Structure formats: C-alpha cells, structure tokens
Amino acid sequence: MKNESTIIDVPAESSSAMKGKAPLIGVAKDHTTSGSGGYKRGLSIFDFLLRIAAIIAASVAAGTMFTSDETLPFFTQFLQFEAGYDDLPTYQFFVIAMSIVSGYLLLSLPISVVTIVRPLATAPRLLLLVLDTAALAFNMAAASSAAAISYLAHNGNQNTNWLPICQQFGDFCLKSSGAVVSSFVAVVFFTILVVLSGVALKRH
C-alpha cells in the first residue's frame, strides 16, 4: 500500500518537485537578470569608444612616420642629405605594423557593436580578447623597436661608433619620434581594452 501510494503520488509531483529542487543544478544557468546585463553593456560602450580612440592613435602614428621625409637644403659631410622612413628597415616595419593594427581595429568595430547589442554573450568578447592581445603584442613590438632606433638616432652610441643622425636631420627625427609616441598611446589603449574584456567576461 505504501509503495503504491508513493508510485502514484511521485510522478504527479516529480516535474514540479524537480523544478523546485533542481535549482542547485538549473538556476546556475539563469543569467538573464537585467542588472549584470546593464553594467556589461556600459563596459561594451566604453570598449567601442576606446577602439575609436585607438584607431586614431594608430593611424596617426603610421601616417606621421610615412610622411617624415626630409631633404637638407645644404651640403654636409654625409654623402646622403636626404632622410626618409624607408632608409631604416625598422621604420618600414613600424609603418607596415601600424597600418595592419589600425586595419584590424577598424574590422573589430562590428564585433564590438555585437557585444553592445548582446551584452551577455561570451563568444564575441572572448574572440575580441584574444585578437586584442595578439594586436597588443604586435603593436608593442613595432613601437619599441622603432623607439630603440629613435633613441640611437638621438644619442648615437660611442662604443660601436654609431653617430647620432638627429644633429643633421632635425625634422625627420622630430616626426619619427612623434610617431613612436603616438604608437605607445595606442598600446595603452589596447591594454585597457584587454583588461576591460577580461573583466566583462566574469560570470556572476
């Protein structure tokens, strides 16, 4: 009798009992509260704005270095009295790398818009984080190698008999150093973008 009553009663209650008792397993997936969606949407909007700022910084860096040619009006002891970014392979790498980085940033704007529209989806954010980290490393490589060459151009090196060329080519030096600074600003933006994506990926 006892067994019969449990067999009859339990199926009638089981679905509601499971819905009532299952939350230990089920409710962990219930993330559709608007609270966490709101602050993640704010983070996504900030991410979008930072991306636009980083596009400006990266393209200014590429453009300034590209147009940094200088021709000296007078004769000096150097046989060459013309300087441009293509005289130094490191500066060539810099221009190419910054162009690639600004192109990548432009292409990542739609993905950023997707994270604004759907703030709780983790796949676009994860993709953005990975691509941003790779772009950060690439940008930093271009910026620091160009900075090493700029430092050498400004100060020279006595131990290796490398003379500083900035004493002759003042304008070229100024423009190329400015491009390097702008590129480091883009690196800072990238760092904030990666940290932002990491924080926004947290699940509560």
Interacting residues toward another protein by CB under 8 A: 10-11, 14-15, 18, 22, 25-26, 28-29, 78, 80, 83, 87-90, 122, 125-126, 129-130, 133-134, 136-137, 140-149, 151-153, 157, 159-163, 165, 187, 191, 194-195, 197-199, 201-203
Q: CB of 72: closest distance to another protein in angstroms?
A: 13
* Distance, CA of 6 to chain centre: 61
Distance CA 181, CA 177 (A): 6
What amino acid occupies position 88? L
Q: CB of 190: closest distance to another protein in angstroms?
A: 9
Distance CA 155, CA 133 (A): 32
DSSP state of 192: H
Q: CB of 146: closest distance to another protein in angstroms?
A: 8
Residue 90: exposure state from Cβ atoms within 10 A (0-12, 13-18, ≥19): middle
Q: Which is nearer to another protein, 19 or 38 (CB)?
A: 19
Q: CB of 14: closest distance to another protein in angstroms?
A: 5
Count helices and strands in the chain by DSSP H and E runs: 6, 2
Distance CA 13, CA 20 (A): 10
- Residue 128, CA distances (Å) to 36, 46, 61, 197 in order: 20, 14, 23, 7
Q: CB of 96: closest distance to another protein in angstroms?
A: 14
Taken as a whole, the chain contains a residue count of 204
Q: CB of 177: closest distance to another protein in angstroms?
A: 15
